Amino acid sequence: MTSKHILVVGGGIAGCTTALALAESGHRVTVVERNIIAAQTSGESSWAGAGIVFPLLPWMYRDEVNELALRGAALYPQLCRQLLAETGIDPELTPCGMLIKPPYDQGDAKAWCENNGLEYVQKGEDFLLPQVCQIRNPRLLQSLRQMLIQRGVTLLELTQLTSLNETELAEKGKITGWQTSTGAALQADAYVVTSGAWSFDLLKNTALQLNIKPMRGQILLYEMPLGTLPHIVYQDGFYLVQRRDGFLLAGSTLEDVGFDTGVTESARQEMQAKAEAILPALKGATIHKHWSGLRPGTPENLPTIARHPTIANLYLNTGHFRYGVTMAPESARRIVELITSDFH
């Protein structure tokens, strides 16, 4: 295989894992990111999410979603060992299990676990999945960013691309250069869009009908004594996740409000009530932070991992909705496999 220059558009977890897989396959890689990778930047779902490495209630999803999510989850232990060993930054992958509280369909839950070889424990009306892990998103991004630097990947941060236009597609079916907001043209042999909720705007002038829209999720952050919550707890679309240092996430909302990354008092009160109902010890506890992130919403949580139908050197790894973190390592493996086969 001949080494190519690949430009990855988007520096979230999907973009960073894609860039790492490309670099490890021998390619020269540039990552373009509109913000700073791993910085606490409002709007980025990679930073803002809870890091549950599992498709929540998998018996409610299509097989394609579960296959991608579970394969991605299975790749994390090795990836995190590698990241810690080479960067010294621990992404804090923690096998804590997930406790699901009613309402849920007990029959469907048991049948799915048995059919897929996943361990479960029935605890009264609650349903425990002991093998589920959590990961700390900001630390995962920090370690990925450091690994990319060590691999010689070029990071173009605080660099925003414009929507692809006809001039950039002057050669039939091929990108000749992608323009930034400052007028520079970034050239590469191939381009991979991994920019989540912003992917639609970047590609709206191409022939692709990309069904992605931003979906806001708001989250609360508490601090509780270590061991307050031994498992992730999930109930009726809401979760509590406690980190190793005691900080506890409670969320999240699912709002169709465009690119509005604000937070609302009504959501804060609603989430606080749900959190206290699940864990009464939170009553009166201080809320340290309240933030939001924009997920790349897609029908049925199905991402697009493919080459563009009409642009020969453009690839897509985007639209993972709620499971971008979980799916990221396997999504990266698949898109790199496709790119590599095209270059042979």
Instruction: Fill in the amino acid letter for 255.
Output: E
Contact between 220 and 292 (Cβ < 8 Å): no
CB 123, CB 100: distance < 8 Å = no
Name the residue among 38, 3, 9, 37 with its Cα closest to residue 23.
3
How wide is the angle at C-alpha 308 spanned by C-alphas 304 and 314, nearest 5°? 110
Asked if residue 331 lies in contact with residue 305, where contact means CB atoms within 8 angstroms, the answer is yes
Q: Class assignment of domain 1-93+133-212+299-344?
A: alpha beta
| 30, 33, 156 from 143: Cα distances, Å | 17, 16, 17
Q: What are the CA-CA distances from residue 112 to residues 65, 116, 118 (Å)?
A: 14, 6, 8
List the chain pLDDT tens, one digit each, 344 residues.
578 999 999 999 999 999 999 999 999 999 999 999 987 654 455 667 889 999 989 999 999 999 999 999 999 999 999 999 999 999 999 999 999 999 999 999 999 999 999 999 999 999 999 999 999 999 999 999 999 999 999 999 999 999 987 666 766 688 989 999 999 999 999 999 998 888 888 888 776 767 788 899 999 999 999 999 999 999 999 999 999 999 999 998 999 999 898 999 999 999 999 999 999 999 999 999 999 988 888 888 889 999 998 899 999 999 898 888 999 999 999 999 999 998 87
Q: The whole model's pTM is what? A: 0.93
**Residues in the chain, total:** 344
Give, rounded to a whole angstrom, the gap between the first and last alpha carbons of the chain. Answer: 6
Closest CA to 10 of 28, 27, 32, 29: 32
173/307 Cα distance (integer angstroms): 12
Q: For the beta carbon of residue 122, count every other beta carbon within 10 angstroms.
A: 11
Q: Give yes or no for a contact between 178 and 191, defined as CB atoms under 8 angstroms apart.
A: yes
236 vs 182: CA distance, rounded Å: 46
Output the DSSP codes for 220-269.
EEEE--TTS-SSEEEETTEEEEE-TTSEEEEE---B--TT-----HHHHH
Helices 324-343/63-87 angle, 10° precision: 90
Q: Of 297, 256, 329, which is closest to residue 93 (Cα–Cα)?
A: 329
**How distant is the alpha carbon of residue 235 from its chain centre?**
21
